[in-house]
Amino acid sequence: MSNKFKYQMVIQWSEEDNCFLVGFPDFPGQRWRSHGDSYEEATANGIEALESLIMAYEATHEPLPEPTVYEVA
């Protein structure tokens, strides 16, 4: 399986924005990249945002950051 989509996606509720925010901590400068009114919508929007982010890196021939991978004890 490709490492292309093995990135952390953080989904967090924001009282200030009244929605779920989506971020990708493995990508520098990408604090909050997308959002959704529900957790499910935020997840779907996050997947689309990750695909777009990866495409942007590939279009500029910029190397993708290494995904953070945790070992199960």
CA 39/CA 14 separation, integer angstroms? 12
Q: Per residue in 36-64, is it b (16+ CB within 10 Å) or e — as a string?
A: beeeeebbebbeebbeebbeeeeeeeeee
Query: DSSP state, 27?
Result: S
| Model pLDDT, residue 1 | 43
More confident residue, 5 or 23: 23
What band does 30 get if pLDDT is binned at 50, 70 and 90?
confident
Section 41-51 average pLDDT:
95
- 29 pLDDT band, cuts 50/70/90, is confident
What confidence tens digit (pLDDT) does each residue in 56-68 have? 999 999 999 999 8
Provide the residue ranges of all domains of the chain, joining segments of one domain with +.
Answer: 3-59
